[in-house]
Amino acid sequence: MTAMQTNLFELTPTELDSLKVDVNLLPKDGSVTYISKVFEPNSCSTLFASLREALDWQQDQLVMFGKLITTKREVAWVGDAGCSYTYSGVKKFPQAWTPELLHIKHTAEALAHHTFNSCLLNLYHDGAQGMGWHSDDEVELEANAPIASVSFGGERKFSFKHKFEKLGVSVVLENGSVLLMHAPTQHFWQHSLTKTKRIVPPRINLTFRAIRQEQQ
Ligand SMILES: O=C(O)CCC(=O)C(=O)O
Ligand SMILES: [Mn+2]
């Protein structure tokens, strides 16, 4: 057993399920479940440090108003071989899974009752870094698969707004929490990570995704 493993990693799928409160945060057109304290504070700190250290983090690039913007937020794309995706016209190839990431993935899979083959990680250094309104609806994603979002570090406000109606919902994503977004959430709702002027510690968010693999 390594220092990385904690009691929580040893919970069975049934025990993990018992952490789940089956309350849908959305009023309609999708299903979002929030589970706090899936990872206990000590293992959150260890995992945060090891993810920061072990992965190859890159500043994200995206096209905004026709211009190529380099964000201060850093990203890492991890997955099975064959799980590449195209983002702002750039094809990205995945980094390999680390043992810590596989532990986190197995926990996310047990909670979501679905397997994942890739993970997008975002590192927000402070409250001035966030993510604008979007849906996780890339063509590469397996239709109707859930997305599991795991958070480590400073807690941040995460909001949903309906694409066609005046409806909105927010939730604070705490250290060690998991947010599950089930179909058809991405079809009807956008989400964003709100910037804040408050002093907040750095945060790493992991979104586990099921990508349709390329034919080898
Ligand atoms: O940082 C977050 O909580 C959200 C990240 C996100 O929406 C994404 O990676 O698509
Ligand atoms: Mn997203």
Domain at 21-199, CATH homologous superfamily: Alpha-ketoglutarate-dependent dioxygenase AlkB-like (2.60.120.590)
- pLDDT score recorded for residue 86: 76
pLDDT digits (tens, 9 = 90+) for 94-117: 999 999 999 999 999 999 999 999
The pLDDT of residue 139 is above 70? yes
Residues contacting ligand 1 via CB (< 6 Å): 120, 122, 131, 136, 149, 158, 173, 191, 193, 205, 207
The pLDDT of residue 44 is above 50? yes
Residue nearest to atom 1 of ligand 1 (CA): 205
- pLDDT score recorded for residue 89: 66
Separation of CA 182 and ligand 2 centre (Å): 13
Lookup: tokens for 25: 């945060």
Separation of CA 193 and ligand 2 centre (Å): 9
- pLDDT score recorded for residue 8: 46
69-80 average pLDDT score: 92
* Residue 205 exposed, middle or buried by CB count within 10 Å (0-12, 13-18, 19+): buried
Highest mean pLDDT among 13-22, 43-52, 57-66: 43-52
The counts of H helices and E strands in the chain are: 4, 13
- pLDDT score recorded for residue 21: 72
When the pLDDT of each residue in the chain is averaged and rounded to a whole number, the result is 90
**Tokens 């009023």, residue located:** 27
pLDDT digits (tens, 9 = 90+) for 11-35: 677 777 777 777 999 999 999 999 9
- Break the chain into its structural domains and give their ranges: 21-199
Instruction: Return the best residue to mutate from 32, 121, 125, 191 for the ligand 1 pocket (most ligand atoms within 8 A of CB).
Output: 191
How long is the chain? 216
- pLDDT score recorded for residue 7: 43
